[in-house]
Amino acid sequence: MALNKRMKAGYGAAEFGLAGGELLLQLYLLEYYIRGVGLSPMLAGIALAVAIFWDAVTDPLMGGLVDRTSTRLGRFVPYLFLGGLIFGGGLALLFNPPGADSQFILFLYLLISYMIVNTGLTIIGVPHIAMGGVLSPNTHERTELYGWRLIFGTFGLFAGILSPLIAAKALQVDVATVAGLEESRGLGSIYMGAAVVLTALITIVATWRRSVNLPAPTDSFHWKDFLANLGRILRNPVFLPFFLAFILVAMGRSMNSTLALPYYKDSLNLSESAIQGPILSVFTLVIVLSVPAWVWLGRRYGKKQPAFIGMFVLGVMSMVAYPLFPEGSVVGPVIAAVIGGFAVGAIILVESLVTDIADEDFVRNGEDREGIYFGFWRMGQKVARSITLGLTGLMLSVIGYEESLAAQSEDTDRALAWLFGLGVGSLFLAASFVFLKTPIDRERQEWIQTEKSRILAERGKS
């Protein structure tokens, strides 16, 4: 039975809280603990590194648990509910530490509370993305589900940026002061935590009828089977080129988000209002509007070729356009935001292809492994982000970029523009050509869907 629009949109709702909460952590956590709380940068960095490592390695394990969970509420509802509560409550806990002068106590508080937050994120994040692969057996409906996920996630990013600013206005505090920073981040995290819980509940309610009636797994979780399944995924010749391409895409996106503000502020000398206004707003709007187009392209031509074109266009546009924009240019970046925003929307085809790869695995081996595939997928995304942040910081040092300076040298500004263009673009371009090695084209998609339907029908008769 086809999914209705309410269920498709409801599935995507949880991504609003997930994306907003993650961005809140990425943008504000380190600054908050160093500037606001007074923890030493070294101890803060160690705590964050340990917690992020924990977050990454638990993703495949969570996927394995989802694949083998059988409850009266189905495979997904318990995790969405529990993970939403832990992640949402953990955000409020993390940004509201107790008053303490001891560096050791502050370090322990950051480490433990951030690990709690990341555990909650894993418990809800992996089941949510895997759920999109099993709510419908139809490969095109899955693309629509991931399209709704992208839409809500895009708006969630704005919520993550704005929640501390809204809190600062509500409290009437100045975030330039230490006290104002602490209060606004603390209340903003409560706002975002509430959004996490609320959107998780919306997804649970909207998908309840379908999710609780999904077939239960026949086997329970065993460590030996889990490790064996991990090995099979790593040896899957269909998944490996696809996964490598995704790692390169994730590195390109991380480098882009890290360098965007320095590029616009220093290389192009644009104001905050110009960046947040026409450029970021247009980029976000085009991403949202591009979703129906990518869904149609996936139906008409299959997922592989349109996704390749999206990556290729993003790579070429970045390499050619960004290094050549003159200082003070707004029109050029807005045009690039239109092209780039549309190309970024192709990510829904890439995510939907993970479900096709998991389905082919099922057809060939008879086992459901969507959870492990998506757990591995999320782990790769986080590892790629960590590696890219380190490399980007190193490259900024090499070109002589200093954040404390009001203005960079002309050579540094020029090098930054080339890094933002060629560095980011080359990663997307490389990803597009690696992605072409993925053997799942439109004909193979149709074969996989037909074979899986046949196998499930035969199982239903037996």
- How many alpha carbons fall within 13 Å on the CB side of residue 295? 19
What letter does residue 436 receive in the DSSP assignment? Answer: T
pTM (two decimals): 0.86
Residue among 441, 358, 298, 457 nearest 131 (CA): 358
SS3 assignment, position 327: coil
> Largest Cα–Cα distance in the chain?
73
Q: One-letter amino acid identity for 129? A: I
| Structure-derived torsion over alpha carbons of residues 408, 412, 415, 419, reported in degrees to the nearest 10 | -50
233 vs 372: CA distance, rounded Å: 8
Q: One-letter amino acid identity for 115? A: M
Q: One-letter amino acid identity for 98? A: P
Residue among 170, 210, 248, 207 nearest 15 (CA): 207
Q: How confident is the model at residue 403 (pLDDT cuts 50, 70, 90)?
A: low
- The pLDDT tens digits for 155-171 are 998 898 888 888 988 98
- More confident site: 68 or 462: 68
Mean pLDDT of 58-85: 92
Mean pLDDT of 316-337: 92
Mean pLDDT of 104-133: 93
Q: Is the pLDDT of residue 405 over 70?
A: no
End-to-end CA distance of the chain: 21
Cβ proximity of 168 and 121 under 8 Å: no
CB atoms within 10 A of CB 70: 13
Q: One-letter amino acid identity for 271? A: S
Q: 222-462: what CATH class?
A: mainly alpha
Of the candidate ranges 180-194, 197-211, 264-278, the one whose mean pLDDT is the lowest: 264-278
Cβ proximity of 437 and 238 under 8 Å: no
- The pLDDT tens digits for 102-116 are 889 999 999 999 999
Per-residue pLDDT, 309: 95
Show the tokens assigned to 28.
Answer: 């504000």
- More confident site: 233 or 90: 90
Q: Is the pLDDT of residue 119 over 90?
A: yes
Of the candidate ranges 65-79, 335-349, 446-460, the one whose mean pLDDT is the lowest: 446-460
Mean pLDDT of 389-398: 81
Show the tokens assigned to 157.
Answer: 């990013």
Per-residue pLDDT, 461: 52
Per-residue pLDDT, 205: 96
Per-residue pLDDT, 23: 86
CATH number of this structure's domain 1-221, picked from the four choices 1.20.1250.20, 1.20.120.160, 3.20.20.70, 3.40.50.150: 1.20.1250.20
- More confident site: 50 or 424: 424
Mean pLDDT of 348-352: 89
Cβ proximity of 226 and 37 under 8 Å: no
The domain locations on the chain are 1-221, 222-462
**Helix orientation angle between 331-344 and 280-301, rounded to the nearest 10 degrees:** 40
| Structure-derived torsion over alpha carbons of residues 87, 88, 91, 94, reported in degrees to the nearest 10 | -70
- The pLDDT tens digits for 416-450 are 899 999 999 999 999 999 999 888 888 888 888 88
Whether 222-462 and 1-221 are alike in CATH topology: the answer is: yes
Mean pLDDT score of the chain: 88
- How many alpha carbons fall within 13 Å on the CB side of residue 222? 7
CA distances from residue 132 to 23, 37, 140, 323, 378 in whole angstroms, order as listed: 22, 39, 11, 38, 14
